[in-house]
Structure 1
Amino acid sequence: MKNTAYLDNNIIVETEQENLSTDNLRNNIDKNMTEFYYSSAHLQEANEIKAETSILLEERLQRRFETLSLVTNNKYVNQELPSNKV
């Protein structure tokens, strides 16, 4: 069975800002964790990104989505409400 992890948005931001590489991340966690997921919370956080111009905002959002894709390999976790089924 694969062990999965849901990464806090702060980890995504640190990776995006190149303060933490994906290799460094993988080397410093439980070796049994083989997959990372993103969720709607990550998308909501991206929705709060600010910029002075629409072009800069687009660039920042593109970078965030590329980082999410890189770190999670495009794996999305969905929580159904009210059952809380994942």
Structure 2
Amino acid sequence: MTDSNKFVSDEEKKKMVLDKMTKVCICKAIPRSKIKEAIKSGATTVEEVNKIVGSGSGGCKGRRCGPKIEELINMYKNGEF
């Protein structure tokens, strides 16, 4: 256990694991954790997230992950993560 995770609740640990396991961009196998990192780092649009993490460049050209990324951006704006 790292110092940064020392005082993290079990519920938060579960969320962290799920974020690493859940793929937002199926084509490029990009996990939700990477998308969230990009958003927390200042990306405010789907296009900005795509540039940072490489999502939206797979076979579907963002048709699957675009709406999910938009939802995560809105969640961040609303303080939900």
Q: TM-score, normalised by structure 2?
A: 0.32
With CA pairs under 8 Å and 6+ residues apart, which has the higher RCO, 1 or 2? 1
Q: TM-score, normalised by structure 1?
A: 0.31
Higher strand share: 1
Larger Cα-atom Rg: 1
